[in-house]
Amino acid sequence: MTVDHEAFASHYVSLASSDGLVRAAAMLSRDGLVTFDGVHDRQSVVELASRLLTAREHRDAAADGVTMIADRGSVADRLGYAGFGAGELQPHTDSSALAQPPRLVMLVCVQPAECGGESSVVDGAAVYADLAARSSDLLQALKRPGTVRFGDPGYWGSVFEPTVDGRMTVRLRLDGLEHFTSPVVEAVPALRAAISGHVRVLPLQPGQGYLLDNWRVLHGRRGFRGSRLMYRVLGDPVTSCVLPSGFMPRSLATVGASPDAWDRP
C-alpha cells in the first residue's frame, strides 16, 4: 500500500468551474471516483453535496446529512462503529446492510491526523478483473446470490452482483458484521489479496475530498494518531446526473496490460 499522489491528481475536477459538474459526472461514470478541493467548512460541504447528490438519512448523520468522522474513543469498540476510532478501516461499502446502499459517498478532510489516517480507495472493476484472471471458480463463488450476510440482521447478497443491464456491482464489509457461507469463505483469501493489490492511498489535506461510486469503489483508511476530522455525506445522484450501475465486468486481457482500469491513458 503506497501513497498515491497521482490518483488524486488524475481524478481531480475543479467543481467551481463552469463545467465542473458535467466533468465530475463523466469522471464518475468512467472511473467511479472524483477528487476535488476548496471545501473548507461544513456549510460549504452541505452546499456542494446539494449540487451532487440527494442526501440519505443515516444513523450517524445530522439533519443536514453530514456525519463527523472522528475518534470517539470507546464508541469504536461497538460492532459497526469502527469508523469512530483511530484504527485501520478495511476497504468496504458504506451501508452494505441495506438492500440498496447509497450510490455516492462524499468525504471531505477538515483536519488530517498527525500521523497516518490517509484515506484509501480500491476500484472494484480492477479487483474483479484480477480475480477473473486468477480463478473463474473463485469468482463464481463470489457472485453466487444469497451467500453473504452483510450486517446483522442485514442483507443477504453476494460480493459481486450483476445488474439488469449487464454491469456488475461490488459490496463488501470486513468488520465482524459479515458472514461468508461455504464455498464463498474459501474465496475470501483470494479476494483480500486482490484488494490489497489495488489499494490507492489518498493523503487528503484540509479542504480536499473525494466523491465515489459506492457500488463500484471500496474505501477505507489507515490507522492514525492524533486528532483527525472528516465530513461525510451519503446519497444518490441528483436527477441531472445519470450514473451507470457499478462497472462493466472485464478480464485482464480486455482491460489491457495493467489490471487497474485507473492506470489507462
Q: Which domain holds residue 220?
A: 5-263
Confidence of residue 5 (pLDDT cuts 50, 70, 90): low
Measure CA 160 to chain center: 14
Torsions phi, psi for 119 (to 5 deg): -75, 155
Helices (H), 150-213: 184-196
Confidence of residue 6 (pLDDT cuts 50, 70, 90): confident
pLDDT per residue over 80-105, tens digit each? 999 999 999 999 999 999 999 999 99
Domain count, the chain: 1
- With beta carbons less than 8 A apart as the criterion, state whether 66 and 46 touch: yes
pLDDT value for 88? 98
Confidence of residue 33 (pLDDT cuts 50, 70, 90): very high
- The rounded mean pLDDT for the chain is 92
Confidence of residue 20 (pLDDT cuts 50, 70, 90): very high
pLDDT value for 257? 36
Run of H or E including 228: none
Report CA-CA distances (Å) from 72 to 42, 84, 209, 246.
19, 5, 22, 33
| pLDDT, mean of residues 230-235 | 98
| pLDDT, mean of residues 177-196 | 96
Q: What single-letter amino acid sits at 26?
A: A
pLDDT per residue over 158-180, tens digit each? 999 999 999 999 999 999 999 99
Query: Residue 182 belongs to a domain with what CATH number?
Result: 3.60.130.10
The total number of residues shown for the chain amounts to 265
Whole-number percent of the chain with pLDDT over 90: 88
